[in-house]
A = this chain, B = another copy of it.
């Protein structure tokens, strides 16, 4: 029976969850009888070519459900099935989750194909491990998990992050790491630290609207520098550096939001040069860097920085769970204290329980697995989106295929507008992000952003097909006859 178990490393489900499900099924079906000894951890992990921890986690989950029991020194055994378990078996596949009013809202929206949001859907979150770890933390730390925490963040988590980011070729000491309540808070506290009334800040054009709002709230002077598919325009950047003295430049070098563009190696190196030449502080928001679907290098600017010119923001939201507000900053030493004060006045500290759970999540090596799982899911959606856009969209709609991330940035024919298209699409149960929200001033009105975060492959195909036909209709209503062989040559 055990021999039938097979784990797919490429599958969109954690290895230990795969193992857990398969063992669970064998037990519930009665194919593994009560008191059967399960394979020892080391032996089993070798056989399946996985880490010991995969087996341990799977056995633990089964134990929590009383499907197995452990005897100290002799191993793990199948438990006798209770009546409840037998009943459960029948309901296993169609279990109904209690839906409260907020989630009902989401449910109602389910017929809506949502290309507007950059937030992943709940089915992609690692609920089972989270539940296990939160209980582990509560049993271990008791009240300490709920006490006041240091504003800088939980020491163990900072250690874990310090060691983890070496994978990204970044070195940062625990004293350069600041835990924050999500990337948005990171932008907010950096603005608090560096921007006063009338100060200048450089951003990419277009950029993340949450950053624009924060800089506006500080009454800063926002200077937008165009971004191309090679990254921010370094010639314009240099011009503007000669003209202004910005407090910092805020950018997203990989799979930028909203464009999906990634900076070329040349652009990255040139920015570092300019930063050194002009003593420019750079805030690098690495929102989606983990979602690289190509073999192309996507180093962070931070990993190229020799002169402590970069503050690096990384969120756990997209890849872990957006509901848990958690991110970190890597901060050159000379700025640390000022930023710590800004963190303090923002919310004093970040939830200690969640910090502890995330720390264990890393320590049990589940983070890597979750990234792999998500990359897997998203790269399939990405491929589907690429194909659908190329297959269905009229040629007059322009876009660059991104190398990773979640966003596709479309330029509509000049006679269409983002808002009008959004309105029409909403009527057909499709939502999208109008491009104009991504600009600080004088936005063009014919860009849209499509995100694959919350749409399945099926929805992507269906949605793009519909969207394409809405675009064609609008073009025709504009008196523009769409016929590829007779396109006017202007």
Contacts and interface: CB of A to CB of B under 8 A. Distances in A.
A7 B241 CA distance: 72
- Give the interface SS of chain A, mostly helix, strand, loop or mixed: helix
Contacts of A130: 138, 146
A9 interface: no
Interface string A115-142: 0010101111101001100110010111
Contacts of A348: 182, 184, 210, 325
A213 interface: yes
Contacts of A150: 102
A197 interface: yes
A347 B317 CA distance: 12
A347 B325 contact: yes
A143 interface: yes
Contact of A123 (B131, B143, B181, B185): B143
A114 B441 CA distance: 52
Interface string A200-224: 0000000000100110010100000
Interface of A: 97-98, 100-103, 106, 117, 119, 121-125, 127, 130-131, 134-135, 138, 140-150, 154-156, 181-182, 184-185, 188, 192, 196-197, 210, 213-214, 217, 219, 321-325, 341-342, 344-354
B154 A102 contact: yes
B213 A147 contact: no
A142 B156 contact: no
A135 B131 contact: yes
A146 B185 contact: no
Contact of A192 (B142, B217, B324): B217
Nearest to A214: B345
A213 B325 contact: no
A22 B342 CA distance: 48
Nearest 6 Cβ contacts at the A-B interface: A122-B143, A146-B323, A146-B321, A197-B197, A323-B352, A119-B148
Contact of A121 (B134, B147, B149): B147
B156 A345 contact: no
A350 B322 contact: no
B353 A141 contact: no
A482 B94 CA distance: 80
Contacts of A354: 351
A349 B181 CA distance: 10
Contacts of A184: 345-348
A154 B106 CA distance: 13
Given A102-B156, A217-B345, A138 B147 contact: no
B182 A347 contact: yes
11 contacts: A97-B142, A102-B155, A106-B144, A122-B142, A125-B147, A131-B135, A148-B322, A181-B325, A196-B197, A210-B344, A325-B351
Contact of A103 (B141, B182, B214): B141
Residue in A101, A149, A324, A348 whose Cβ sees the most chain B Cβ within 10 Å: A348
A345 B148 contact: no
Contacts of A101: 155-156
